[in-house]
C-alpha cells in the first residue's frame, strides 16, 4: 500500500502521531542535529545538511530537498537503553522494607529513522530479546510500545559505509511506514497494520508506478554515492590472525581512550550497575548506567586490569564489532553509520583501521 503525499499531509501525519505517542524526531539545536522529544513539526531541520569528516561536524543550509541531512548525531538506544535507567527501588515504610520494580512503558514514535539505525535496532533486538536466553525486560517494555516512521536516505555523508555492513536498502526492517522524498512530494509506504490505522481519516492519493520507479532510482543513486566500504569476506578470520600485530600499538598511540565512539555507536550497549542510597538509609535505588570498554576500570578484576593499555581496548572494541559479534550473533555489530568516525577527537576512522589491519599488514 503506497501513497503520494505533500508536505501538508506529512504535517497531518505528525500531528496524528502526537495524539498517541511521545514523538522523537531530529531537531537542530546548538549546531547539532539530534533525536529529541519534539512536539513541533516545524522544529524538524528541513533544508539543513550536515558536513562530516573524521573528527569534523557542522551543519549548513541547503535548497536541495526537505530531508537533506543524513541522520542525527545520537541514536535510538538513547531512548530504548537510556544513559541512566532505574531498575528497582527499595524503601522503608511502616517498619517494613518494600521492593518496587520500575518497568517503564513509554509509547514513543520515532520519526525519521534511517536504514542504518533500523539495522542497529534489529541488532539490539537480537542482543536483548531474540537471541538472549534471559531477555531484558526493561528494554522489551520500551521496545514493544514504539512506532517507527522510516525515511530512505537521498544524501550520504563522507563517513557513511552502511552499504558494506549488511544494511539492506530494500529492507524496511520493522518500520510501520516508510517515506521517500521525491521531486514533487513524498512516497508513503505502509508496512504494518499499526501504520494503516495511523492513516485512518486522512485523504490520500494512491501512488503511481512512476512514483515507485522514482523511489527505486533514489535508492540506487544513494547507494552509488557511498564511497567508503569494508570488504567482509573472511573478515573475522583475517582479523583474528592479526590479533597480536604491533599495528594495534600504532592506533593506541593516537587513541585518547575517551569512549566517545562507544557513546555515539547505535549498537554499543556496555553498562554498569550502581546503587544510590539516601543518607538516612530509608531509600535506595539500583541504576543501570552507560559504561564503555574504553574505560580503564571496565576490564579490571581484583585490581588487575586485563586491558591496561589503550591499544588493547581499541583492539577489543574493533574486534567485538567485526569478529566476536559474528561468533555471538551471526552478524557484524557495526552498521556503518560513521558516527564513531565523526565524533572521534583523534580522527581515528574504523573503516580505515579495519582495512589497514586486515589488508595492508
pLDDT tens figures, 265-275:
999 999 999 99
pLDDT confidence of residue 361: 56
Strands 32-37 and 22-29: antiparallel
Q: What are the beta bridge partners of residue 187?
A: 4, 180
Mean pLDDT computed over every residue of the chain: 94
Residue-wise pLDDT tens digits, 20-51:
999 999 999 999 999 999 999 999 999 999 99
The number of angstroms, rounded, from the C-alpha of 230 to the middle of its chain's C-alpha atoms is 19
How many other C-beta atoms lie within 10 A of the C-beta of residue 90?
Answer: 15
* Exposed/middle/buried for residue 166 (C-beta within 10 Å: 0-12, 13-18, 19+): middle
Is the pLDDT score of 117 beyond 80?
A: yes
306 or 33, greater pLDDT: 33
Label residue 192 by pLDDT band (50, 70, 90): very high
CB 270 within 8 A of CB 320: no
Is the pLDDT score of 102 beyond 60?
A: yes
Q: What is the mean pLDDT of residues 337-357?
A: 97
Label residue 152 by pLDDT band (50, 70, 90): very high
Q: What are the beta bridge partners of residue 27?
A: 34
Q: What is the mean pLDDT of residues 172-183?
A: 94
Closest by alpha carbon to 228, among 154, 321, 159? Answer: 159
Is the pLDDT score of 64 beyond 80?
A: no
Q: Say what the pTM is.
A: 0.93
Q: What is the mean pLDDT of residues 204-221?
A: 96
CB 266 within 8 A of CB 339: yes
Is the pLDDT score of 318 beyond 70?
A: yes
Residue-wise pLDDT tens digits, 241-256:
999 999 999 999 999 9
- Cα 119 to Cα 68, 71, 155, 222, 289: the distances in Å are 21, 13, 18, 17, 24
Q: What is the mean pLDDT of residues 112-123?
A: 97
Contacts of 233 (CB under 8 A, 6+ apart): none
pLDDT confidence of residue 303: 85
How many other C-beta atoms lie within 10 A of the C-beta of residue 95?
Answer: 5
Label residue 172 by pLDDT band (50, 70, 90): confident
Label residue 134 by pLDDT band (50, 70, 90): very high
Residue 179, all three cell numbers: 517515506
Q: What is the mean pLDDT of residues 170-179?
A: 93
Contacts of 45 (CB under 8 A, 6+ apart): 26, 27, 28, 33, 59, 69
The number of angstroms, rounded, from the C-alpha of 171 to the middle of its chain's C-alpha atoms is 16
Q: What is the mean pLDDT of residues 53-64?
A: 91
Spell out a b/e string for 252-291, using b for 16 or more CB atoms within 10 Å of the CB, else e.
beebebbbbbbbbbbbbbeeeeeeeeeeeeeebbbbbebb
Amino acid at each position: 500500500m503506497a501513497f503520494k503525499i505533500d508536505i501538508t499531509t506529512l504535517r497531518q501525519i505528525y500531528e496524528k502521531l502526537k495524539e498517541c505517542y511521545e514523538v522523537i524526531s531530529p531537531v537542530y539545536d546548538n549546531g547539532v542535529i539530534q533525536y529529541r522529544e519534539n512536539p513541533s513539526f516545524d522544529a524538524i531541520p528541513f533544508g539543513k545538511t550536515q558536513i562530516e569528516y573524521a573528527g569534523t561536524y557542522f551543519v549548513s543550509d541547503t535548497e536541495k530537498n526537505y530531508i537533506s541531512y543524513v541522520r542525527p548525531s545520537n541514536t535510538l538506544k538513547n531512548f530504548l537503553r537510556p544513559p541512566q535507567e532505574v531498575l528497582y527501588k527499595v524503601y522503608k515504610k511502616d517498619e517494613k522494607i518494600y521492593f518496587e520494580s520500575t518497568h517503564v512503558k513509554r509509547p514513543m514514535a520515532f520519526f525519521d529513522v534511517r536504514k542504518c539505525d533500523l539495522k542497529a535496532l534489529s541488532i539490539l533486538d537480537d542482543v536483548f530479546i531474540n537471541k538472549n536466553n534471559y531477555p531484558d525486560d526493561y528494554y522489551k517494555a520500551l521496545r514493544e510500545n514504539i512506532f517507527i516512521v522510516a525515511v530512505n536516505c537521498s544524501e550520504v555523508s563522507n563517513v557513511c559505509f552502511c552499504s558494506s555492513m549488511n544494511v539492506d536498502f530494500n529492507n524496511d526492517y520493522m518500520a510501520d511506514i516508510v517515506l521517500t522524498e521525491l521531486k514533487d512530494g513524498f512516497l508513503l509506504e505502509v508496512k504494518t497494520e499499526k501504520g494503516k490505522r495511523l492513516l485512518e481519516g486522512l485523504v490520500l492519493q494512491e501512488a503511481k508506478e512512476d512514483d515507485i520507479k522514482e523511489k527505486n532510482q533514489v535508492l540506487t543513486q544513494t547507494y552509488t554515492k557511498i564511497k567508503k566500504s569494508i570488504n567482509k569476506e573472511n573478515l573475522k578470520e583475517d582479523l583474528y590472525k592479526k590479533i597480536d600485530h604491533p599495528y594495534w600499538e600504532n592506533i593506541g598511540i593516537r587513541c585518547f581512550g575517551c569512549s566517545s565512539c562507544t557513546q555515539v555507536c547505535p549498537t554499543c550497549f556496555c553498562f554498569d550497575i550502581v546503587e544510590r542510597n539516601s543518607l538516612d538509609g530509608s531509600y535506595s535505588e539500583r541504576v543501570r548506567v552507560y559504561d564503555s570498554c574504553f574505560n580503564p576500570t571496565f576490564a579490571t578484576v581484583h585490581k588487575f586490569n586485563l586491558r591496561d593499555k589503550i591499544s588493547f581496548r581499541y583492539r577489543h572494541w574493533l574486534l567485538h564489532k567485526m569478529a566476536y559479534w559474528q561468533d555471538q550473533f551471526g552478524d557484524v555489530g557495526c552498521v556503518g553509520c560513521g558516527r564513531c568516525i565523526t565524533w572521534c577527537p583523534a580522527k581515528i576512522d574504523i573503516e580505515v583501521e579495519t582495512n589497514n589491519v586486515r589488508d595492508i599488514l
